[in-house]
Amino acid sequence: MLLLVGLGNPGGDYANNRHNIGFMAVDEIVRRHSFTPFKSKFSGELSEGRIGNDKVLALKPMTYMNESGRSVGAAASFYKIEPADVLVIHDEIDLEAGRMRCKSGGGHAGHNGLRSIHAHIGDAYRRLRLGVGHPGDRGQVSDHVLKDFSKADKTWLEPLLDGIADHIGLLVDGDDAGFSNRVALDLNSKDNH
């Protein structure tokens, strides 16, 4: 069983923020793969479904970003899910907008959602880092991630979310490279039309 976690902040004011790209990706996966409707559980919203032969729990912590680990820790503990079977999808300012990277383990690079998850389950979980770009000044990072995606961002955001939902089965199966390649091919083919 895989615990698929999208990071974001609850509420309409934050819905289209760059910080909420994790929520957006999980919503698209849940919709595309016909998971159950979300229910309130573990201080979050939980949905269940299957991707290929794997049972997947999709979780959106409703604790605000800085406390995401409380929700992730509670769900992982309840279902006895090891950190290696937790996949967290989150925004990444150190990646160019529209880029993504898969990673297992490692530091939190100052990301408060990841810092909170580290505190609750350690650092051995998997991450899908989705680039939202850097504002160029460290002092502007908070404003940058809490701003809504612009109309121009939609040209890469929607194809990226579609590609993730289309090929998430590869990531669930542990084929990070295959997943990354397929999503990149999709994005390149859309760029060239």
Residue 84 backbone phi and psi in degrees, to 5: -65, -20
Residues 6+ apart with CB under 8 A from 37: 47
Residue 131, judged by CB atoms within 10 A of its CB (0-12, 13-18, 19+), counts as buried
Which one of 19, 90, 144, 167 is the catalytic residue?
19
- Known catalytic membership, residue 108: no
CA nearest neighbour of 99 among 184, 189, 8: 184
Our CA angle for 177, 61, 31, nearest 5°, is: 60
Instruction: Mark out the alpha helices in the chain (DSSP H runs).
Output: 21-32, 68-78, 112-121, 141-145, 154-172, 176-191
Beta strands in 8-153 (DSSP E): 39-41, 44-51, 54-61, 86-92, 100-104, 126-131
Which residues are annotated as catalytic?
19
